[in-house]
Amino acid sequence: MGQARDDNTPPTVQRVGVIGGGQLAWMMGPGAKSLGLELVIQTPDPEDPAVAIAQHTILAPITDVDATAVLASQCDVITFENEFIDCAGLQPLVKQGTMFRPGLELMALVLDKLHQRQFFQQMGLPNPRYVFLDGGEAPEVLLAKAETVGFPLVMKTRRLGYDGYGTFVVADRSQLTAAWQTSGRAPVLLEEFVPFKQELAIVVARSVSGELALYPAVETQQVNQICRRVVAPAPVSPAVMDRMATLARTLVNGLDLVGVMAIECFLTEDDQVLINEIAPRTHNSGHYSLDACVTSQFEQQLRAISDRPLGPTDLTCDQAVMVNLLGLDASDATHQERLANLKAIPQAQVYWYGKSPRPGRKLGHVTQCLRADADSARVAATIERLWYGAET
């Protein structure tokens, strides 16, 4: 990936600070190299994947504002691979001249799923019906609000939910009450259950000057609320592809994004596109771009935040599938054996993040580029059988 390009504009940004050192930061490595950028990472654990590709690492939690002040003193711009930051705490750094891309206002908006939904509504963009709780209400209030949405419904903790953690599909009042009590009566959204026919996502980049680069919309398939596989491009009508692209443009312009954003959507039986959520960073649904697009989403993020021209987003193959490798248990041996089998697939690109295994943890992914006549579902099923076993 990342062939060298003649950029014309003299780049001023040379050192990029990244808050978060997981696999998303790790996969920025090759893009940074081809753009001649240095990465300085703020992450708590020396074992985190991105430590291996960073010029320098500040070992501190991502919410450690003092550590970010040090990061700022070493970098020209700071970006994010994890949105669970302390936005209010970082604000004084902006006054001192630190450049955060995306900006902190946008980062603050996405931290709360309610604020995301309110923004979509303000923009006139369709999203599922919902009500919200601020947390700590009496159980009767919870149930009265739930009745206005109807069952089944989806309860989501408003903050710090990811990979399906904090998302519960509940069938009735007693399940809802139990789930909410377990959450510690947290602030939540109660959302209509959308009987979608497909889930779609799109990654889009926007530069400082407002230049846009859209990747093709993809289909994502979830198992137990966590992304299992991605098919690119999404097997949907051109009209739906256009709607995804229009949505992406409207959203990132409205948010004044600088960087990369993923937008996750539901496609209903009658071809309505409803926005589920947005992530102001690179995303699982764009991992295929490392192997199947001219410019990966990771290089694109670096281009956008470092004032470089955005790269082309075209597919370099007819289609691609990406399968997530989720942890099966806590044993290294279980995973290494399966990994070896995946590496034996001739056309598969296997990414292994080197994280300690835990059930459900994202440990790696596999991408396979395909010709137009290939059966992507079969290819994905083969990969999944090798990893997850017979009952996938």
- Closer to ligand ADP by CB, 135 or 164: give it: 164
Nearest distance, CB of residue 346 and ligand ADP, angstroms: 31
Choose between 285 and 296: whose C-beta lies nearer to ligand ADP. Answer: 285
Between residues 101 and 156, which has the closer beta carbon with respect to ligand ADP? 156
CB of 370 to ligand ADP, least distance (A): 24
CA distance from start to end of the chain: 31
Rounded Cα–Cα distance for residues 74 and 68 (Å): 10
**Minimum CB distance to ligand ADP smaller for 75 or for 227:** 227
Asked whether 264 and 285 are in contact (CB, 8 A), the reply is yes
Q: What is the C-alpha to C-alpha distance for residues 90 and 68, in angstroms, rounded to an integer?
A: 8
Among 2, 21, 128, 327, interactor with ligand ADP by CB under 6 A: 128
Alpha carbon distance 159, 170 (integer Å): 19
Q: Is 76 in the site for ligand ADP (CB under 6 A)?
A: no
Task: Give residue 256's identity as a one-letter amino acid code.
Answer: D
**Minimum Å distance from CB 84 to ligand ADP?**
11
CA distance 180 to 136: 10
Q: Binding to ligand ADP (CB under 6 A): which residues in 159-218?
A: 161-167, 191-194, 199
**E-state strands within 31-135:** 38-43, 56-59, 77-80, 130-133
Query: In terms of CB distance, is 199 or 384 closer to ligand ADP?
Result: 199
Collapsed DSSP state (helix, strand, coil) of residue 296: coil
Instruction: Tell which one of 276, 349, 367, 368 touches ligand ADP (CB under 6 A).
Output: 276
The reply to whether 264 sits near ligand ADP by the rule CB under 6 A is: yes
Shortest spacing between CB 39 and ligand ADP, in angstroms: 26
Query: How buried is 148 (Cβ within 10 angstroms: 0-12 exposed, 13-18 middle, 19+ buried)?
Result: exposed
What DSSP designation does 63 have?
Answer: T
277 binds ligand ADP (CB under 6 A): yes
Residue 215 CA to residue 310 CA, distance in Å, equals 12
Task: Verify cis geometry, omega within 30 degrees of 0, for the bond prior to 152.
Answer: yes
Q: What is the DSSP code (8-state) at residue 100?
A: B
List CB contacts of 209: < 8 A, sequence separation 6 or more: none
Q: Which is nearer to ligand ADP, 58 or 109 (CB)?
A: 109
Minimum gap (Å) between residue 117 Cβ and ligand ADP: 11
| By CB under 6 A, residue 225 contacts ligand ADP | yes
CB of 301 to ligand ADP, least distance (A): 20
Minimum separation from the CB atom of position 153 to ligand ADP (A) = 8
Binding site for ligand ADP (CB under 6 A): 128, 154, 156, 161-167, 191-194, 199, 222, 225, 264, 276-277
